[in-house]
Amino acid sequence: MSTATASDANKASTLLFSPFRLRDVTFPNRIVIAPMQMYKAAPDGRATDWHFQHLAKYAIGGAGTVMTEGLIIDPIGRNTYGDLGLWDDAQVAPLRRIVDFLHGEGVVAAAQLHHAGPKSSRQRPWEGLNSLTEVEAARGEVPWTPVSSTTTGSVSHWRAPRALTVEEIAALVEAYGQGARRANEAGFDVIDVHAAHGYLIHSFLSPVANKRDDAYGGDLAGRMRFALEIAESIRRHWPQGKPLFFRISCVDWRKDLDDRSDGWTIEDSCVLARELSARGVDLIDCSSGGIRAENSMMDYAKQRRKLQRGHQVPYAEQIRRDTGVPTMAVGVILDGPQAEAILQKGQADLIAIGREALTDPHWALHAAQALGTDPDWEKWPPSYGWWLQLRERIGVEG
């Protein structure tokens, strides 16, 4: 047997490093870099060199898909003044530069569309993540009034939102569509809509927040209306050959990780998944919680509580099983063997990696080695791989 053939025979076959196809897009592997807010945008919401280097290193690091942080579709929907935007045509070109690099590395480029709703008008996290104050106003970051489904806020000491009118809802539905148009102009292959974590769309979905008595409130059909209209609007402006994802909080409450009894439920999520699928959504991105501050990861941190590995994976599994809609698992997925096991069990179709990628931009390449799919460093950029293979052949003492 030749050396090349022997090497090929030793490579393990995995689902994590197998391709996956949705519409006209083939994902080279199942690893997706999750959207992570950097709060580093230019004052006009444009991407900078910071965002280029932040996303480029994940493409070099072996991920099959790299997703932007949430791109805000209307300036009133910014979390902070540091949020990236896609509400203006001038914001397209800097994103196109990033997309071109990702494509040059053979990576699928994904954009997340976002509106923070009742969680808008805030400080950056390292400044406190509270409502903007006179301190920020003095440097030009003037507070504004957030918008939501109703006047119910997420946190009592944050700036209270006002309820959107029906006319304003219609304008935002179109703004999502225009955001999709701009994403296409920037060259993105996939759109992911952020409808989780207590942000605008989630504030309509959840009965905890939505107290409207018109067509956008009340029963499940009314509370889903805004999300479904957004999916339809995006599909009118987004090419039919390009996939559309929706990130949802599959359940509202996480006082205990097994408590699904209140607010938005996993059963509601299955209904929503079917309705979104009927409107051209291809995959459900499965997260949880956030409708109130006491149900957020930050609250867990304050309480010094620990999250379990893969704590949200069962949501992705149930939606995939009960609806037939593909899903993406996210949340405390720490290494390649864990990710591979999720796929092998049929719990999800894609794996999103966030904080672990912050600590290790080469997470995907290290996962390949841990799973035995890259014994010869061939998945690494040749400029790196030959050095690393050489060191391995030489060996290190001690």
Strands 350-353 and 31-33: parallel
Structure tokens at 150: 């109703």
C-alpha span between 158 and 396 (Å, rounded): 55
Looking at the DSSP bridge assignments, the partners of residue 187 are: none
Instruction: Answer positive or negative: Cα dihedral of 383, 388, 394, 396.
Output: positive
- How distant, in Å, are the alpha carbons of 234, 240, 279, 282, 319 from that of 274? 17, 19, 9, 10, 9
Q: φ and ψ at 392, to 5 degrees?
A: -65, -40
Catalytic residue among 58, 81, 199, 315: 199
Sign of CA dihedral 138, 144, 296, 272: negative
Q: What pairs with residue 246 in β-bridges?
A: 193, 284
Token couple for 203: 């504030």
Q: Is 216 a catalytic residue?
A: no
DSSP for 233-289, please give it: HHHHHS-TTS-EEEEEES-S--SSTT---SSS-HHHHHHHHHHHHHTT--EEEEE--
For residue 244, give every residue at least 6 positions away whose Cβ sits within 8 Å of its Cβ, in sequence order, or none: 190, 191, 193, 231, 234, 235, 238, 280, 281, 282, 283
Cβ-proximal residues to 251 (8 Å cutoff; 6+ apart), any chain = 260, 263, 264, 265, 266, 269, 288, 289, 315
User: Rounded distance, CA 195 to CA 8, Å?
Assistant: 43
Residue 165's SS3 state is coil
d(CA 345, CA 38): 33
Catalytic residues: 199
